[in-house]
Amino acid sequence: MGAGVAPEDQLDRTQTRRVLGRVLRMAYPFRRTAYVALGCVVVTTAATLAAPILVRHGIDAGIRAGDFFELNLSVGLYLAITALAYGFGRLQYVFLNRTGEAFLRELRLKVFAALQRQSMAFYDRNKAGVLVARMTADIETMGELIQWGLLQFLASGFLVVLAFVVLFSLSWQLTLVVLIVFPVIVIASVKFQRDSNTAYLSVRERVGQNLGTLQEGIAAVRVIQAYAQEDHQIKRFERSNRSLFDSHVRSIRISTWYFGLVEFSGVFAASLVVGVGGWLVHRDTVSLGTVVAFILLLSSLFDPVQQLSQLYNGVQSAAAALHKLYAILDHKPEVDEAADAIDLPARGELIVQGVTFKYQAGTQPALQSAELIVADGERIALVGPTGAGKSTLAKLMARLYDPTVGSVSYGGVDLRQATLASLRQRIVVVPQEGFLFNGTIRENVRLARVTASDAEVEPRCRVSAFSITSSGCPKASTPKCASAAAVCRPANVSSWRSAVRHSLTRPCWCSMRQLPTLILAPRQKSRLRSNA
Amino acid sequence: MTGAPLDPDAAAAAKGEAEEQARIQRSLGWHLLWRTLQEQKRALIWGVAIGITWTAAKVAVPQLTKSAIDQGIERNGPLLAWSVFIGVAGLATGLLTAGRRYLAFRESRWTETLLRERIFAHIQRLHVAYHDKSQTGQLMSRASSDLQQVQQFVVMIPITLSNLGQLFAVTLILALTDWRLAVVALAPLPFINVASRRFSSRIHPAVLEVQNEQAQLASVVEESVSGVRVVKGLGTENVQFEKLRQEADDIRRVSLRAASIRSRFLPAIDLLPSLGLIAVLGYGGHRVINGDMSIGDLVAFNVYLTMLVWPLRNIGMMVALGQRAAAALVRVHEVLSTQPAVRSPEKPRSLPARAGEAAGAVQFESVHFGYDSEREILRGFDLAIAPGESVALVGATGAGKSTIVRLLLRFYDVTSGRIMIDGVDLRRLDLGELRRNVGVVFEDTFLFNDSVRNNIAFAKPDADQSVVEHAARLAGAHDFITQLPDGYNTQIGERGYSLSGGQRQRVAIARAIVADPRVLVLDDATSAVDPSKEHEIRDAMRTVMAGRTTIVIAHRPGTIALADRIVLLDEGVVAAVGQHRDLVESSERYREVLAAWAVRDAVPAGGD
């Protein structure tokens, strides 16, 4: 019951089929392990069902006939089958997870690569949090299914089908008796699955709201105390907390009747089998062993239906997650490499010709008929008031966006015709924000050229006039940027980080690359100039 | 080997003491749960009673089945009656299982709900020093994930009790039916319990490791997405992809490790009961043939054995759940047992009644204070502010300006010296009364996810709309509020409309006005506002300061100029007092401080 699917996320039949088709295609490289896993599941399930049949044989041919050999044979076979079930039971976990994890790894890499291929415009449109959630929460939803649910889902499915086959071959009359109760369980399970999904979603929403109130109450505790409003806030929290409790109780009610019904149906079916079966035994239509086998098999029939209904939500939310992921995989980047792309020449003029650019269709253009020629080796400064389009022009010159009208070319090659690798090698924009990546300072500086040696990194950092020791962070030799918070006192960290951001990384990046073309955002210029 | 650093005996004693300490903590944790559960005694007793009745009905079913087979089928007895009996027993187990489940879940949720409210209420009243030291996230997990652990344990109480009952009853019945067969059949079952316990303790760290690796992958994704401009600008997609591949490989590795733990335990746990069933068929079969037992007994044995599987697994799980709940309860108890360090006195005095304009005299008398004993922030701070007077506090970062505000609100108590409002020492006032009479506009304006109206009326939730509007007008906020989509009812914050820095600040000022305090403190209220917009706030401030004792902490000359008098704070004492022009002329330090702030304003800290 761990997952729930919002109505808007539920897929219709064609969507489900499409998602399923793509999963199979993507899993194709791992088909061998998948087949082995499925084989193991079938063998294990069959072994589970074989047990009651052996008991039946032991009773009818052994005990009731007084035949010790037949009884011992049943016992021996039962032991053998249990050993078999254990062996294949272990293998089914191993292979199913191998397949699943290989698939997930593939999916993670593919989606991440697709994200990285997307243009800046894509990132402008989509919130960072949502994109991160795709790569994390959505894929983890599937991970959970693979780790816990998939095996049970498959095994339960097999079990129901095989159990019916076995029951039918044992006695069609008693199978009909079971079929009186079975639909009740199925219908109840379907209803339960729907209701519990709704209830789960409402609980989840309340949990979120309650956490929000809780968090607010803690974060704002100074304001609350300053205005002596503790009591009012406590009442406010109680309201939200009680409403969470109410929605919990509603969801408990839904499961209460269901589990009661399930338990009743199981025993009720047994009572029918005993009654009708006993009558059939008296008429010599079935054997006593068959009746016993039926009683023992009933749980193999009813339990899987329960499990299926509980796993169904998990499967559904995994499908919904996959659907969203495929949407990213399918999204064609606005700025993409042409099929016949060529490398940019090593040096050349950067020419902006008649460029008009709109961030969104129908809005005011950010640039209009811009013309600019930057000669090889020339340094130019772009000056203008806020909103004049300086940054926009810079982004277009590095092909973070494509112009709406006009063209940008380098060494005579239109940027749209250039390979992206050579483009990034020749033209670099150092953005205004000095974003720091997790890792050591050295790794951050090296970001621009991974192959750089330590000997190359350090002198360049010196050029950027940044001295770590002056920042007041005690362990300064190669502190980790992310763990710096643990090393430095909080007050220092922010200043330390911003110091690193502003004076270290960007200039370092710049000098790390022997770049023909470099575009700098405004703020760092003064510092760079002084070091030039 | 000379000079062993630690005497082994002493080390052992220290260890023993730590264990003793942990034991005491745990018992206090359990005690907390016990007291909480006392309040739900009735429902819990009902739950347990229903659970035990359920056990009886459940255990009766195989007995009835046995009789049906032996007497109904084998001996042509009254088959229909037996089968009706089974059906009735089934109905009873169905109803009872529902009742047990309902009570168990409802009561466990109720425990969680009550404890969460207690934690919240307690946190609300804990002194600010406590909050300064603890992280929001940590307190949050006390009231969420820790309580979840407790809930998962409490829900198992009625279920476990009836499981134990079932275990006991079934063992007894089996032993009475045929004790030899019972011994043989039950022998493998304790291993289920052992295996489930070992499984829980093995899988838990493995699952944590998977989560840990997932978090690491998330941080790579996070930085790649938020830093996309840098990644694209420098063309370093490959570096990030390489990092991600490593993390994806790590996840796969640890997930497969967890899977291998599952593969070792779960099939074994599933199949252990089969060994018992095989024993029943083999040994029991022989006894039936020899005439020592009936077939009905054999079937009943079979059914009983399968009935024991779940209880045994649950008890194994219960141990693991109990350990986790104990750890959680210790942490919860730690929070609840922290006493607020700043409290109202037993017999508080009240402030003298406000007579006209004469209220709101503030007096600091040789106040000493430090957040820790090593470093004193205030070293004999003396200042007397007349009713209705406004004073600007100016000083370098760390001079102690905000500390003075915290002391005035009694977020902290002075180490020595005293602070008085209208002649009454703060420590002799009821905390509520004190804080209702000191209104603060903080540097970082915290607004609640609520309507604009409720945010302004924060100090007086029942205030009339006219009071709210009047405050908003004074703070210069009325005009923009009426422009908002729903006016005063517009929801603001995370899930609502987002206000600009200046707008937020004006709402915060209006909030302070509604409180109608004797003393108003504006703690750097303009620093978060763009300098070009500062004048809007300054107008609002001028209006509300008129005729009210006000302490303004500021560093921009324009804001400083609003005050009647300027106090320069340096090294924890008053370094100079006077008018802006005089101080600029006479105080070198004053000029330095203002110059330092001016530089800071000119180069706003960017980056984030």
Residue range B198-219: mean pLDDT, rounded: 88
Contact list, A222 vs chain B (CB under 8 Å): 128, 131, 411, 442, 446
Residue range B68-81: mean pLDDT, rounded: 85
User: Chain B closest CA to A524's CA: distance in Å?
Assistant: 11
Nearest to B117 among A64, A91, A241 (CB): A241
Cβ contact B607–A227 (<8 Å): no
- Model confidence at A435, pLDDT cuts 50, 70, 90, reads low
- Please name the residue of chain A whose CA is at the shortest distance from the CA of residue B111: A245
**A342 phi, psi to nearest 5 deg:** -120, 160
pLDDT tens track for A183-197: 998 999 889 988 888
Pairing of strands B519-523, B549-553: parallel
Q: Determine the Cα–Cα distance for residues B400 and B410; give it in Å rounded to an integer.
A: 15
**A517 phi, psi to nearest 5 deg:** -130, 130
Q: What is residue B472's predicted lDDT score, i.e. its pLDDT?
A: 92
> 3-class SS at A338?
coil
Q: What is residue A466's predicted lDDT score, i.e. its pLDDT?
A: 37
The interface predicted TM-score of the complex, written ipTM, equals: 0.83
pLDDT tens track for A464-503: 433 333 333 333 333 333 333 222 232 333 334 444 443 3
- Please name the residue of chain A whose CA is at the shortest distance from the CA of residue B234: A428
Nearest to B94 among A253, A264, A281 (CB): A264
**B566 phi, psi to nearest 5 deg:** -115, 135
User: Chain A closest CA to B283's CA: distance in Å?
Assistant: 9
State the Cα angle at B67 between B64 and B70, rounded to 5°.
150
More confident residue, A487 or A44: A44
Residue B260 has pLDDT above 90, yes or no: yes
| Cβ neighbours of residue B601 closer than 8 Å, sequence gap 6 or more | B531, B556
Q: Which two tokens stand for residue B62?
A: 């195989």
Substitution target in B61, B65, B113, B124 with the highest count of A β-carbons within 10 Å is B124
Q: What is residue A490's predicted lDDT score, i.e. its pLDDT?
A: 29
A369 touching B (Cβ < 8 Å): no
State the Cα angle at B332 between B411 and B136, rounded to 5°.
50
A80 touching B (Cβ < 8 Å): no
Q: Which two tokens stand for residue A456?
A: 């190359």
pLDDT tens track for A354-411: 899 888 777 778 888 888 888 887 777 777 766 677 778 888 888 888 898 899 998 8
Q: What is residue B150's predicted lDDT score, i.e. its pLDDT?
A: 92
More confident residue, B92 or B236: B92
Q: What is residue B380's predicted lDDT score, i.e. its pLDDT?
A: 92
pLDDT tens track for B306-352: 888 788 878 777 877 888 888 899 999 999 999 988 888 989 888 88
DSSP letters along B423-436, please?
A: TEEGGGB-HHHHHH
A389: left (phi over 0), alpha (psi -120 to 50) or beta: left
User: Chain B closest CA to A106's CA: distance in Å?
Assistant: 9
pLDDT tens track for B151-162: 989 988 888 888
CB B230 within 8 A of CB B300: no
- Model confidence at A438, pLDDT cuts 50, 70, 90, reads low
DSSP letters along B176-243, please?
A: HH-HHHHHHHHTTHHHHHHHHHHHHHHHHHHHHHHHHHHHHHHHHHHHHHHTHHHHHHHT-HHHHHHH
Nearest to A143 among B238, B255, B511 (CB): B255
Start-to-end CA span in chain B (Å)? 55
CB A313 within 8 A of CB A5: yes
Residue A158 has pLDDT above 90, yes or no: no
Nearest to A479, CA basis, from A510, A438, A420, A423? A438
Cβ contact B306–A299 (<8 Å): yes
A122 touching B (Cβ < 8 Å): no
- The helix (H) or strand (E) run that includes residue B384 is strand B378-385
Q: What is residue B89's predicted lDDT score, i.e. its pLDDT?
A: 94
Cα dist from A165 to A38, A60, A489, B501, whole Å: 19, 20, 69, 71
Q: What is residue B7's predicted lDDT score, i.e. its pLDDT?
A: 63
Residue B582 has pLDDT above 80, yes or no: yes
Nearest to A101 among B61, B252, B295 (CB): B252
Cβ contact B260–A131 (<8 Å): no
Q: What is residue A446's predicted lDDT score, i.e. its pLDDT?
A: 63
Report the percentage of chain B scoring pLDDT > 70: 95
Residue range B359-363: mean pLDDT, rounded: 90
Interface of A with B in 249-278 (CB under 8 A): 249, 252-253, 255-257, 259-261, 263-268, 270-272, 274-275, 277-278
Cβ contact A252–B251 (<8 Å): no
Cβ contact A62–B264 (<8 Å): no
A147 touching B (Cβ < 8 Å): yes
CB B263 within 8 A of CB A90: yes
CATH topology of domain B362-602: Rossmann fold (3.40.50)
Nearest to B98 among A215, A260, A288 (CB): A260
Count of CA atoms in the C-beta half-sphere (13 A) of A246: 8
Pairing of strands B390-395, B565-570: parallel
Cβ contact A116–B144 (<8 Å): no
Residue range A141-161: mean pLDDT, rounded: 81
DSSP conformation class of B113: H
Residue range B572-589: mean pLDDT, rounded: 88
- Model confidence at A442, pLDDT cuts 50, 70, 90, reads low
Interface of A with B in 408-437 (CB under 8 A): 420-421, 423-425, 428-435, 437
Say if residue B160 is exposed, middle or buried (CB neighbours under 10 Å; 0-12, 13-18, 19+). Answer: buried
Range B16-177+325-340 classified under CATH 1.20.1560.10 = yes
Cα dist from A396 to A72, A370, A431, B190, B382, whole Å: 83, 11, 13, 71, 61
Cβ contact A135–B218 (<8 Å): yes
pTM of the complete model? 0.75
Q: What is residue B256's predicted lDDT score, i.e. its pLDDT?
A: 93
DSSP letters along B491-502, please?
A: BBSTTSBPPPHH
Report the percentage of chain A scoring pLDDT > 70: 78
For the four alpha carbons of B527, B528, B531 and B534, in that order, the dihedral sign comes to negative
Contacts 24+ apart (CB under 8 A), A381-384: A381/A525
The lowest-confidence range among A442-451, B253-262, B280-289 is A442-451
Which residue ranges make up each domain of chain B? 16-177+325-340, 362-602
Nearest to B448 among A216, A424, A523 (CB): A216
CB A56 within 8 A of CB A170: yes
| Cβ neighbours of residue B323 closer than 8 Å, sequence gap 6 or more | none
Cα dist from A231 to A109, A357, B347, whole Å: 51, 56, 20
Cβ contact A140–B214 (<8 Å): yes
Cβ contact A75–B285 (<8 Å): yes
Cβ contact A249–B94 (<8 Å): no
